[in-house]
Amino acid sequence: MRHAFAVRVGPASFRIGSAWRAPVEALADLYRDYPPATVPDFTVRLEPTRPWRRWLRPSVAIAGDFTLPEAAPLPLAQALLAAEMGMNLQMALGWRRHLLLHAAAVERDGRALLISGESGAGKSTLASLLATRGWRFMGDEFALLDPASGTLAPFPRPASLKNASIALAGEGRWGPLLEGTPKGDIRHRVPDRAAIDAMDRGATPALILFPRFGEAAAARAVAPSEAFARLTQASTNYQMLGEAGFVALTRLVRDVPAVAIDYPDTATAIALIEERWA
């Protein structure tokens, strides 16, 4: 590949190769505060779908150590999104050192809040907003649960915010606006320097949150069995880890309380969260 970029995020290192220069330049800028990778865990390749698509209506196919054959290619203007999806795919299919939960995480006083939910529930937005209120941003896509110790390892990649959330998440450094992607308009918010520098410092999970956006404010406790079932569905590698995954997840739901909240706006969500954070 003509152009390459390497970066470490938490415990995982990536090498991203690209047939075009622009995506690599955009990545180098977005990740300029991050440590470089030495020996990468994963390779991601941004390739033209056909040789002539390198120039004609350039179209980026996501390739790498791990692929899913049904991935739809993206226009070159959205290559940053393609790179992010490529990295997500490598983690989702290839990372075995932690139990991966599709969740955001923020830390306060050594204790972590885990925010689990489907796309649109508000994980990225809430995590980014909490990061502007004194919490340390640990990630918005994957929470990494160490099966041996039960602690969470940070994966503080720039948060991917969509549509209306872009306006909400406040100050900070941002990547370029990517318009009209399959997930809507997207902008990456770079975590503050302190959060990036703390990428090797774990935290003990203290509360699991299942938020749901667009409903009148409400909160209820979630029983451990329900949290367990929901988190198995929010994990990309629960099955692959076998008994270690079972032990890690049962321990998490027994040790850590879980709450589901409905919220009409982020201010309400933040209030509900801080109320329950003892």
Partner 1 sequence: MRYRAPPATALATVRLDEFTAVYHRPSGATHLLVEPAPEILAALVEPLTLDELADRLAATYELAGDAGALVARVDELVAAGLVAPA
Partner 2 sequence: MSDDAPPDDPGSTSRRALMLGAVGASAIVSIRPALAQTAGSVLTCSIPVPDPGRAGSWIAADGRTVPAGTKGAFPAGATFRGEDVRRALNGGQLPGTTYDRSRAYVNYIRRLQRGQGGFTCFASLQMPRG
List of residues contacting partner 2 (CB under 8 A): 62, 68, 70-72, 74, 85, 88-89, 92-93, 102, 117-119, 121, 141, 182-183, 210-212, 229-230, 232-236, 238-239, 260
In the complex, the smallest distance separating the C-beta of residue 171 from partner 2, rounded to whole angstroms, is 26
Distance in angstroms (rounded) separating the CA atoms of residues 6 and 35 = 9
In the complex, the smallest distance separating the C-beta of residue 132 from partner 1, rounded to whole angstroms, is 35
Distance in angstroms (rounded) separating the CA atoms of residues 105 and 153 = 10
Q: Based on the number of CB atoms within 10 Å of its own CB, is 223 exposed (0-12), middle (13-18) or buried (19 or more)?
A: exposed
Q: Following CA atoms 189, 104, 127, 227 in sequence, which dihedral angle do they give, to the nearest 10 degrees?
A: 160
Q: Give the up-direction half-sphere exposure of residue 101: CA atoms within 13 A in the CB hemisphere.
A: 36
Residue written as tokens 């306060």?
108
- Would you say 119 or 233 has its CB closer to partner 1? 233
Distance in angstroms (rounded) separating the CA atoms of residues 160 and 137 = 13
Smallest CA-to-CA distance from 175 within 41, 42, 23, 59 is with: 23
Binding-site partner at residue 235 among partner 1, partner 2, none, CB < 5 to 8 Å by type: partner 2
In the complex, the smallest distance separating the C-beta of residue 259 from partner 1, rounded to whole angstroms, is 15
- Would you say 129 or 136 has its CB closer to partner 2? 129
- Would you say 159 or 249 has its CB closer to partner 1? 249
Binding-site partner at residue 118 among partner 1, partner 2, none, CB < 5 to 8 Å by type: partner 2
Please list the residues that pair with 72 across neighbouring strands: none
- Would you say 18 or 236 has its CB closer to partner 2? 236
Distance in angstroms (rounded) separating the CA atoms of residues 123 and 160 = 10
Residue written as tokens 């997840």?
249
In the complex, the smallest distance separating the C-beta of residue 231 from partner 1, rounded to whole angstroms, is 11
Binding-site partner at residue 191 among partner 2, partner 1, none, CB < 5 to 8 Å by type: none
- Would you say 136 or 273 has its CB closer to partner 2? 273
Residue written as tokens 């900070």?
172
As a three-state string, the secondary structure of 209-239 is: EEEEECCCCEEEEECHHHHHHHHHHCECCHH
Binding-site partner at residue 247 among partner 2, partner 1, none, CB < 5 to 8 Å by type: partner 1
Binding-site partner at residue 211 among partner 2, partner 1, none, CB < 5 to 8 Å by type: partner 2
Q: Are 168 and 142 in contact (CB under 8 A)?
A: no
- Would you say 108 or 183 has its CB closer to partner 2? 183
Tokens of 220: 């209820």
Which residues form the interface with partner 1 (CB under 8 A)? 223-225, 228-229, 232, 238-239, 242-243, 246-247, 250, 253-254
Tokens of 23: 């995506």
Tokens of 251: 């321990």
Binding-site partner at residue 207 among partner 2, partner 1, none, CB < 5 to 8 Å by type: none
In the complex, the smallest distance separating the C-beta of residue 70 from partner 1, rounded to whole angstroms, is 25
Binding-site partner at residue 140 among partner 1, partner 2, none, CB < 5 to 8 Å by type: none
- Would you say 232 or 268 has its CB closer to partner 2? 232
